[in-house]
Amino acid sequence: MIAAAGDALWKNGAVCGKKFTVKCTGPRNGVRHPCTGKSVTVKVVDQCPGCPSTMDLSREAFEIIAKPVAGIINMDYKK
C-alpha cells in the first residue's frame, strides 16, 4: 500500500519511505458516509506537487478506508 505526500507533508522528501496509518474521517465532496471504518498503513513513495490534500493514496489503499465513489475524503494519519 503506497501514497504520495502533498507539499505540506513532503518537506523536501523527509517523509519519503516513511509509513503512516490512515483512516477516513468523513466526506469532503458530498458523498454521504464514504468511510468503511477501517484503517490502512501506507508507505510514502512519492511527492504529489500541488495536491490539495495531505496524501494521495493508491487505489488499493483508498478502497480499504473509503468507498471508491467518494474520490476525495477527510482523513487522519499518524506515523
Residue 52: pLDDT above 80? no
**Domains of the chain, earliest start first:** 2-78 (2.40.40.10)
Distance CA 44, CA 35 (A): 21
pTM of the model: 0.92
pLDDT, residue 59, reads 97
Distance CA 71, CA 58 (A): 11
CA distances from 53 to 6, 11 (A): 6, 14
Mean pLDDT of the chain: 95
Tell me the mean pLDDT in the region 15-30: 96
Strands 55-57 and 2-6: antiparallel
